[in-house]
Structure 1
Amino acid sequence: MNITNINELPYVLLGEIISRLACYKLIFQCKCVSKRWCTFISEPYFIGRFLRVQIDKQIPTMATLINIRGEELHDRMSSLSSSMRLTQLLKRLVSFHGFKVEPIVVATYNDLVLCCAPLNNQSNYYICNPYTMQWVALPPPPTQFPVTAKVVGIICDTPYYNYYKEDAGKRQIIQLNADYKCKVIRLLSSYEYPKNYKCKVEIFSSETGEWSETVIISPKPWYHIYSSIAHNGVLYHLCQSTDSRTCLAGLDPFMIMNKITNSTTGNGVDHYKCCHVEMDTTVVGGFSGDYCVVSERSLRISYFDWDTFSVYVWDLKEAEEEECHAEVVIEGTGKLCWKHTGVFSLDRDIAPDESSVSVFELIAIDPNNDDILYLNINGDLVMSNIQTRKWSVLVRESQIIDSHFFQLQLPLWPTPIPKLPQHANGGGTSS
């Protein structure tokens, strides 16, 4: 075979060469070489081949933290400039849709970002991917201004790709889920049902391209919701009930949709019952969700207590002991409960002069290491390891410290934005 031009290489050989590039960003640049290359690189065969090479190299999947403006907590967390690309994408949304204000981040799932604009009525939602610079606009939700959502979440039924081992662990099997389904859920205020502990929810389905409305039931009413994270197919909300107990409420949007589809009319409606796992806070006095942060990686809650200058840690585990408080999370699964993992004292040299400390906040758990915490001390961003007690000031007078940060995955291969029925002939936009 006499080949003088790389464009003449057979697909199999071309795939073996390109798939060995260091990351997908370099591969995406190869799409510009020719239409043939662009088409080939977009095919499932090549994507699977590239992922297999990355997994064989044991390339880890990392994550970073972003605030509502799409700014990264600090630039040491990643080397892929995810924050810069996301802020660029938000500016494109402003230009493309003619917004007067820049959209904000309201939820994330893996490497997908849910944005909304404007903030005051949350009527325009967009699912974006900062790595591909693509987005898709969702239709307006049923309930708009002046009612705003208590919390908004996004979740998919399966990751875009997953892998498993076959033949006694000798071969990696890559599975692409190009037709994954995505749900966006809005929890609205429950003021209409204060005694029945019911909450009105709106769910958008990428499968139908439409919003649905329903009511869910909670064992206890929620007074305040601090954050929302997706874990193992369930959306969890760290919240505080009206009796001031901190809990984790979990719901499965896909099961809710099944109940909507299969429910009867009239008084026989079978409302979805969300789980409600309360925390055993007897180990610390004065516990408040205002001082908690949650790790999406392992569903860990860390709480800082000023009196003892210590961090109290709980992990959500499967209930194995009868005395462990637990609730069924979703039908067909086991029971979960909070288990107190331990108490970790911080080095008091972090704040040697307590009288001069006006702000001391626990703001985030590192998405790649649950032992690393980030704190806001008088506006300085401080990193502390609860196991080693080592700490360091990352940024003096940080301008991006916020009350909440979202976890954003740095994938081996980016997730394409979901395909909506109304955009079957082309929707969204990309760079």
Structure 2
Amino acid sequence: MATSTDLILCERDDRKLNDHTMYICNPKTMKGITLPRPPRCYKKSFKGFASVPYSTKQFIEYSVVVVNCGDGHGYVENEFGFEAQVFSSRIGKWKEVVLILPKPFKAFFHSCRSLFHDGILYFYDNKNGMIAFSPIISKEKEKADDETLSIACRSIDWPLDCIVDDQSFVTVDLCQERLRLTQKKGMSVNIWDLKDNDTSKWEVKDKINLGGLTSHDSSIRYISDFRTPWILLGFNPFDDAVLYACMNQDRIVSCDLKTRQLKSVFVMPDESKSLLLSSGMKFFEDVRPFWLIF
């Protein structure tokens, strides 16, 4: 569902047993911890994950945010705020919160995704921009056991020249400490970097025609029409000139923005193709942390 500081937030989705247990997993040790069940079970929700490691101790503080999407039919829109629950590792329990919005935010629970950076959790939707807030509950508010907390959010709009519709797809990545927006529409890919959070100021970084990409790799055939499926996965977190994508539903490729060259990175096994088609795929940063909490 989400990652933060090299940990993965997962959820068991067993509708027959009504089991929606959430886990935080460490892919390096192949171990995990189970989160307690939230006090309220939403029919549909979107989720965010934020974790902050400490360099002096083998310890990490984390928060999990679950946002209520009502009955889950299509888009959920709220003019004033979203009902949510936040689990804080510091207090070891869930707190009910209301995310206060500066303006209406419309999101589809299937496509709303999250990203945590520099103490701020971002939720973004394909069409409707982002909301941003701090998911860390302060020590003063921890003591209010029965009080519903209010958390103020900021709105960040997409660039004016990012025209979104049912034929376009956007993703947001953390690339060299910058938030990067990538939009695919047809065979065009447009890229912006967020320059100013407060004013929603974006800077155009590149525009790519997928049909014009070439490759010296004999395993990649030349792509020149709309019939070849492309799924954007994300940028290399350490090289902002390398974009990863899934091509032809079975091959992970890297695109060098400087040379416009494609390279084959990984061929997906047959059992993974149906998963990609049914639920989508996301590229996550993998780092070597200085801590191991489990």
Q: TM-score range by the shorter chain?
A: 0.7 to 0.9
Q: Which has the higher contact order (CA 8 A, sep 6+)?
A: 1
- CA shift, 1:383, in A, is 1.8
- Aligned equivalents of 1:289 and 1:317: distance in 2? 27
Q: Does 1:251 align with 2:133?
A: yes
- Residue by residue, what CA displacement relative to the aligned partner does 1:280-327 show, whole Å, maximum 9, x if unpaired? 232x54456952222123210111232xx43211111236xxxxxx45
2:54 counterpart residue number: 160
**Aligned match of 1:300 in 170, 180, 187?**
180
Q: Kindly provide the amino acid, as one letter, of the partner of residue 203 in structure 2.
A: K
Contact 1:201/1:215 (<8 A) preserved? yes
Please, which moves more after superposition, 228-237 or 191-200?
191-200
1:385 counterpart residue number: 256
1:208 counterpart residue number: 91
Q: Does 1:127 align with 2:4?
A: no
Contact 1:344/1:387 (<8 A) preserved? no
TM-score w.r.t. the length of structure 2 is 0.77
3-state SS of the aligned residue for 1:253? coil
Q: Pick the structure with more strand per residue.
A: 2
Q: Does 1:318 align with 2:213?
A: no
Change (3 A) 1:411 1:348: same
3-state SS of the aligned residue for 2:136? helix
Q: Pick the structure with more helix per residue.
A: 1
Please, which moves more after superposition, 126-135 or 179-188?
126-135
What is the Cα-based RMSD across aligned positions, in Å? 3.3
Q: Kindly provide the amino acid, as one letter, of the partner of residue 124 in structure 1.
A: T
- Residue by residue, what CA displacement relative to the aligned partner does 1:379-431 show, whole Å, maximum 9, x if unpaired? 233221122201123345654463232524331433314xxxxxxxxxxxxxx
% identical equivalent positions: 22
The number of residue pairs the alignment matches comes to 270
3-state SS of the aligned residue for 2:204? strand
- Aligned equivalents of 2:144 and 2:117: distance in 1? 25
Q: Kindly provide the amino acid, as one letter, of the partner of residue 131 in structure 2.
A: A
Q: Does 1:237 align with 2:123?
A: yes
Contact 2:100/2:151 (<8 A) preserved? yes
| 1:48-59 matched pairs, under 5 angstroms | none
1:41 counterpart residue number: none
- Aligned equivalents of 1:179 and 1:392: distance in 2? 39
**Aligned match of 1:361 in 211, 223, 231?**
231
Q: Does 1:148 align with 2:44?
A: yes
Structure 2 runs not aligned, ≥5 long: 215-221
Contact 2:22/2:34 (<8 A) preserved? yes
Contact 2:48/2:123 (<8 A) preserved? no
Change (3 A) 1:288 1:263: farther
Contact 1:291/1:304 (<8 A) preserved? yes
Which protein shows a greater Rg? 1
Q: Does 1:139 align with 2:36?
A: yes
- CA shift, 1:236, in A, is 0.9
Q: Does 1:340 align with 2:236?
A: no
Q: Kindly provide the amino acid, as one letter, of the partner of residue 291 in structure 1.
A: F
Contact 2:252/2:268 (<8 A) preserved? yes
Contact 2:213/2:262 (<8 A) preserved? no
- Aligned equivalents of 2:7 and 2:287: distance in 1? 10
Change (3 A) 1:270 1:124: closer
Change (3 A) 1:406 1:209: farther
| 1:5-44 matched pairs, under 5 angstroms | none
Q: Kindly provide the amino acid, as one letter, of the partner of residue 361 in structure 1.
A: I
Contact 1:264/1:270 (<8 A) preserved? no
Structure 1 runs not aligned, ≥5 long: 1-105, 162-175, 320-325, 328-335, 418-431
- Aligned equivalents of 1:386 and 1:271: distance in 2? 43
- Aligned equivalents of 1:202 and 1:301: distance in 2? 27
